[in-house]
A and B are shown apart, each in its own frame.
Chain A
Amino acid sequence: MRPANCVDLNSVICAIDGRILLDIDRLSIAHGERVAIVGHNGAGKSTLLRLLSGFMCPVHGTAEVLGRSLDRQLTSGELRALRREVGQVMQGLHLVQRLDALENVLIGCLGRRSGWRTWVRRYSPEDLANAGSALRAVGLLAKAAVRVDHLSGGERQKVALARMLMQGPRLILADEPTAALDPQAAAEVCALLSNAAAGSSQSSAATLVTVVHNPLLLPVLADRVIGLKQGRVAFDLPATQVDDSCLHKLYRADTPVGIVEPPQYPDNGFVMSPAAAL
C-alpha cells in the first residue's frame, strides 16, 4: 500500500548521548509539498534532514520516509534504495574535490548503477548525456572538465544541484543551499532548486524540504514553513501566514525553554547504518 504522505513522523525522538536533538510529536509532509524549515542554530534542523536521509535513526517513535520505515532493522540494501530516492543539497563542501564537475554529477546515478564499471568511473553514453544536460540545466556545461576545487562557491553549489538533478529524487533535502553565496548566486540557486522540485512534464513534482535562514527566500522555496525550536515544532504555517513577528519570536533567545529536563536514554541513539561502515 502506498502511503499518502512523503514523510510521516510520529512521536519521534532523536538523541545523541542522551541529549535530545529532535522531539517531534507529529509531522507529515505530503508528496509534492514544498516545505521550509527555520530555526536558530542547534534547533534540530540539520538533525531532521539527517533523519529524513537515513543517516540517523530515531530512538523512539516511528519515522516513515517514502513509504519506508526508518529504524535499525532497515537493511543496507533498503537504506540504499531509500537514499536513491532522496536527493541532498547540503551546505558547504560536499563534492569530491579532486574529481571534475562532470564526474561529480555522475555520482548522482551511482545508486541506480552497480558493477565494477562504476568503480573506475566508466559510465554509459546515456548517463554521460544525462549528466551533460544536468550541467547545462545549471549553466555549467562549459566547466564540465574543471576540477571542483577550482570552482567558485556558487559554481560548486550548482554542481551539487546538477548531481541532485542527475539523481532524480522524489524527495529533495536542501540544507542552507544558499549559505556563503552572494545574493545573485543565492537567487539563481533558489530558482534552480525550485524548478528541480517542480519537475519536468513527464515526471511528477518532487517534495522539497529546505532549511533556510534568509526570510526573503521563504516565498521562493516553500508553501509551508515549519519553525523548529529546541528540537520541537514551534509553528507550522502556510508560507503566506509567516510574518516577521512569527520569525522574531522563533529566533529570540529568551523565550521559555520547552524541554527543561530531558529524560536520559541509556544508549547513544546515534546509529550509523551498516552501509556506513566503509
Chain B
Amino acid sequence: MAAQTLGHPFIGRIGGRAGFFGLTLVYAMLVAVCLGSLGHEGELSLGRNPVANIIKTAGEFARPSLLDVWFGDPNLEYKGDDGTVLRVEDRQAVELKYLAGLGNATWTTIRIATLGSLLGALLALPLAILTARNLAAPTMPAWIAGGVLDTARSIHTLVFGLVLVGIVGLGPTAGILAIALHSMGTYGKLFAESIETLDLAAIDAVRGVGAGPAQVFFNAVWPAVLPQFVSNHLYIWEYNIRDSTILGLIGAGGLGLLITEATSLFQWGRLSTVLMVVIALVVSFDALSRRIRGALI
C-alpha cells in the first residue's frame, strides 16, 4: 500500500530547520504587529485605577453570598433617609432560597449539556465516517461533510443560541440545540481522528476470513473505536457543562441565567457562589470521566 502523504503540502515544503526558523519569525512579527497597532490606537489601557478596583472586586468575591446562609443578619433593616425602617429582611432565609434556586439551575444546566452533547455526538457520527481519510468515502459527500463540520465548529454556541431563540423560542430547547450544533463540529473532528487511528491490518484480517461488511464493522471497527468515542464524548460533555453556563444570556435558563443576573447587578458575592458551583461541577465531572476513561483504555 502506498504511503499516505501526511500534513499540508505547503507546510511540508517549508519544513526543516530554516523553515521552522522562518515560521517562528513570522509568528514573532504577527505578535509585534498586534501589540504595536493596539498600543498605537491607545486601546491597551487598564482603566483609571486598576489596583483599587481589583482589590475591591476581589474583596467582594472573597465574601460569597453562600456564607450568609449561616452568618447573615437575620434582621437586616432597610432604612429610609429619615431613619424609619422600611423593611426587615432575614438574610439567612433569602440566601437559603437563592441556594435552592441555584440547585435547580445546576440541574437545568446538566440537563442541557447532557442532551446537547448526546445530540451533537449522534449528528457528528455519520459526518465523521464520511470525513475520515482512511475510509476513503466518495469525494463530494466527504467534502460537504467536512464543510458542515468546519462551519459548526467555527460558530460559537452563543451565536447558534441567539439564532435558535428566534426559531424555537426562549428556553432550554434553544440551549440544547445550540450546544448540539456547535459541539457537532468538535465531535466530528475527534471522531474522524479516532477512526483514522484504526488498525487497518486487523480490519483486513477480519475481512480475510470472509466476514461481511456489517460483521467487519462490529467485530473489528467498533471494538477499536468505541473506547475512543466514549472518551471523546466524556471530554466534550464536560466542556459543554462549562459552555452551557453562558447560555443564560439567551434565556436558556440554568446557571448561565444566574451568572447574567449577578453580573448585571454587580453582585460579585452571588457570582462567587455560582462560580463555586460551576467549578465543583466541572472538577467532579472531570474526575469521574477520567476514571471512566482510565477503565476503558
Query: Given A93-B201, A98-B223, A120-B218 in contact, is the A110-B208 Cβ separation under 8 Å?
Result: no
A58-115 contacts to B (CB < 8 Å): 80-88, 90, 92-99, 107-112, 114
Which one of A53, A92, A118 contacts B208 once the chains associate, using CB atoms below 8 Å?
Answer: A53
Assess the B207–A276 pair: CB atoms within 8 A: yes
Binds A, one of B4-12, B154-162, B209-217: B209-217
Query: Given A55-B204, A98-B224 in contact, is the A119-B209 Cβ separation under 8 Å?
Result: no
The residues of A that contact B206 with a CB separation of less than 8 Å are: 96, 107, 110
Instruction: Report A230-246 CB contacts with B as 1/0, cut-off 8 Å.
Output: 00000000000000000
The residues of B that contact A92 with a CB separation of less than 8 Å are: 201
The residues of A that contact B202 with a CB separation of less than 8 Å are: 93-97
The residues of B that contact A108 with a CB separation of less than 8 Å are: 209
From B135, B209, B211, name the one whose CB has the most chain A CB atoms within 10 angstroms.
B209
The residues of A that contact B213 with a CB separation of less than 8 Å are: 275, 277-278
The residues of A that contact B201 with a CB separation of less than 8 Å are: 90, 92-94
Assess the B215–A118 pair: CB atoms within 8 A: yes
Query: Given A93-B199, A96-B220, A97-B199 in contact, is the A83-B215 Cβ separation under 8 Å?
Result: no
Assess the A110–B219 pair: CB atoms within 8 A: yes
A121 CB-CB contact with B under 8 Å: yes
Please, how many angstroms separate the alpha-carbon atoms of A90 and B206 in the complex? Answer: 12
Which one of B135, B204, B211, B224 contacts A110 once the chains associate, using CB atoms below 8 Å?
Answer: B211
User: Which of chain A's residues has its CB closest to B225's CB?
Assistant: A98
The residues of B that contact A178 with a CB separation of less than 8 Å are: none
A148-203 contacts to B (CB < 8 Å): 160, 163, 167
Chain A: minimal CB distance from B193 (Å): 17
Assess the A86–B208 pair: CB atoms within 8 A: yes
Interface residue tally for chain A (C-beta within 8 Å)? 40
The residues of A that contact B219 with a CB separation of less than 8 Å are: 96, 99, 107, 110, 118-119, 121
Assess the B209–A111 pair: CB atoms within 8 A: yes
Assess the B207–A83 pair: CB atoms within 8 A: yes
Assess the A83–B214 pair: CB atoms within 8 A: no
Please, how many angstroms separate the alpha-carbon atoms of A111 and B215 in the complex? Answer: 9
B102 CB-CB contact with A under 8 Å: no
Chain A: minimal CB distance from B214 (Å): 6
The residues of A that contact B205 with a CB separation of less than 8 Å are: 88, 90, 94-96, 107, 160
Which one of B212, B215, B221, B224 contacts A97 once the chains associate, using CB atoms below 8 Å?
Answer: B224
Please, how many angstroms separate the alpha-carbon atoms of A238 and B213 in the complex? Answer: 40
Assess the B220–A80 pair: CB atoms within 8 A: no
Please, how many angstroms separate the alpha-carbon atoms of A107 and B212 in the complex? Answer: 12
B2 CB-CB contact with A under 8 Å: yes
User: Which of chain A's residues has its CB closest to B297's CB?
Assistant: A98
User: Which of chain B's residues has its CB closest to A273's CB?
Assistant: B207
Chain A: minimal CB distance from B222 (Å): 9
B74 CB-CB contact with A under 8 Å: no
A16 CB-CB contact with B under 8 Å: yes
Assess the A114–B212 pair: CB atoms within 8 A: yes
Please, how many angstroms separate the alpha-carbon atoms of A95 and B208 in the complex? Answer: 12
Which one of B2, B204, B216 contacts A94 once the chains associate, using CB atoms below 8 Å?
Answer: B204
B227 CB-CB contact with A under 8 Å: yes
Query: Given A97-B199, A118-B219, A278-B135 in contact, is the A111-B211 Cβ separation under 8 Å?
Result: yes
Assess the B218–A81 pair: CB atoms within 8 A: no
Query: Given A90-B201, A96-B202, A98-B227 in contact, is the A278-B208 Cβ separation under 8 Å?
Result: no
From A81, A84, A92, A94, name the one whose CB has the most chain B CB atoms within 10 angstroms.
A94
Assess the A16–B2 pair: CB atoms within 8 A: yes
From A53, A82, A84, A110, name the one whose CB has the most chain B CB atoms within 10 angstroms.
A110
The residues of B that contact A267 with a CB separation of less than 8 Å are: none
Instruction: Report A14-40 CB contacts with B as 1/0, cut-off 8 Å.
Output: 001100000000000000000000000
User: Which of chain B's residues has its CB closest to A19's CB?
Assistant: B2
The residues of B that contact A99 with a CB separation of less than 8 Å are: 219, 223
Assess the A119–B204 pair: CB atoms within 8 A: no
Instruction: Report A248-266 CB contacts with B as 1/0, cut-off 8 Å.
Output: 0000000000000000000
The chain A residues found within 8 Å of chain B, CB to CB, are: 16-17, 53, 55, 80-88, 90, 92-99, 107-112, 114, 118-121, 160, 163, 167, 275-278
The chain B residues found within 8 Å of chain A, CB to CB, are: 2, 135, 199, 201-221, 223-224, 227
13 other A-B residue contacts (CB within 8 Å) besides A98-B227, A99-B223, A276-B207 = A53-B208, A80-B210, A80-B211, A84-B209, A88-B208, A96-B219, A98-B223, A107-B219, A110-B209, A111-B211, A118-B218, A120-B218, A278-B135
User: Could you jot down 28 A-B contacts, CB within 8 Å?
Assistant: A80-B212, A83-B208, A83-B209, A83-B210, A86-B208, A90-B201, A92-B201, A93-B201, A95-B202, A96-B199, A96-B202, A96-B224, A97-B199, A97-B202, A107-B206, A107-B211, A107-B220, A110-B206, A110-B210, A110-B212, A111-B210, A114-B212, A118-B218, A119-B218, A275-B213, A276-B207, A278-B213, A278-B221
> Shortest 3 CB-CB distances between A and B: which pairs?
A111-B210, A84-B210, A110-B211
